[in-house]
């Protein structure tokens, strides 16, 4: 491949990284909020959230992306392609993250919460100082796994015209008639992105273990 092809690949990789990164950041926080709301068990709200989580997890990313892109103008909402891609990825990953967080909450030691309350800690202080640090460590493998799946599923946004890494790979292959080099380069770039996530996970786990000693 020539320099121009590599430049296109890097631009596509950057598009994949920043759109996935924004979706991941929003999805982790939104998933935590949904898990907290569901733990409160507010009847109608809980049922609506269960419906959302079930539908978002069951709907393929390509279908969800196309649905948002095609249906938004019907309701007078004009979204550009990047916003549509971020929204689709966020709705998808938030649903999975919510279940990861909820599972961590349900497995958290009840005795620790009761002990914190016994020494006069408010529910908010108990959550922030006692629960959240441990929940982050417990949920980290699942969250990183979901982040990896999201990055690998992000080519779905190419269906609405976003020039991500996979779409660039197809363009280069169509021009050069040599599909293997750009595909191998794209695989390497995807592996690099996911490898960085795994490295950050291990770094965070090591730091958490040092703090726990």
How much is the pLDDT for 128?
Answer: 80
Instruction: Enter the pTM of the model.
Output: 0.90
Phi, psi dihedral angles at 94 (to 5 degrees): -60, -40
Find the CATH number of the domain harbouring 57: 1.10.3720.10
For 24, 119, 164, 172, the CA distances from 97, given in Å and listed in that order, are 9, 32, 24, 35
Domain encompassing residue 57: 3-212
Euclidean distance between CA atoms 97 and 107, whole angstroms: 16
Residues in the chain: 213
Q: 98-121 burial by CB neighbour count: b if 16+ within 10 A, else e?
A: bbbbbebbeeeeeeebeebeeeeb
Quote the number of domains for the chain.
1
Mark 160-187 as b/e (b = at least 16 C-beta within 10 Å): bebbbbbbbbbbbbeeeeeeeebeebbe
Question: Distance between CA 58 and CA 60 in Å, rounded?
Answer: 7
From first to last of the 213 residues of the chain, give the pLDDT tens digit. Answer: 778 889 999 999 999 999 999 999 999 999 999 999 998 888 899 999 999 999 999 999 999 999 999 999 888 888 899 999 999 999 999 999 999 999 998 888 777 877 877 787 777 888 888 888 888 888 999 999 999 999 999 999 999 999 899 999 999 998 888 889 999 999 999 999 999 999 988 888 887 666 554
């Amino acid at each position: 491949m020539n320099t121009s092809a590599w430049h296109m690949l890097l631009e596509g990789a950057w598009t994949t990284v920043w759109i996935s990164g924004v979706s991941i950041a929003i999805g982790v926080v939104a998933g935590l909020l949904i898990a907290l709301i569901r733990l409160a068990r507010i009847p109608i709200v809980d049922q609506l959230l269960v419906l959302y989580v079930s539908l978002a997890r069951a709907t393929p990313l390509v279908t969800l992306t196309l649905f948002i892109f095609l249906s938004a103008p019907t309701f007078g909402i004009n979204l550009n392609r990047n916003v549509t891609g971020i929204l689709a990825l966020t709705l998808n990953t938030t649903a999975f993250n919510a279940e990861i967080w909820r599972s961590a909450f349900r497995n958290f030691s009840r005795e620790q919460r009761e002990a914190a309350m016994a020494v006069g800690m408010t529910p908010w202080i108990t959550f922030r100082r006692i629960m959240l640090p441990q929940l982050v460590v417990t949920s980290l493998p699942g969250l990183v796994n979901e982040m990896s799946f999201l990055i690998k599923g992000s080519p779905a946004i190419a269906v609405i015209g976003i020039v991500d890494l996979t779409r660039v790979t197809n363009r280069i292959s169509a021009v050069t008639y040599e599909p293997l080099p750009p595909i191998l380069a794209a695989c390497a770039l995807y592996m690099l992105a996911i490898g960085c996530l795994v490295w950050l996970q291990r770094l965070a786990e090591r730091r958490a273990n040092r703090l726990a000693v």
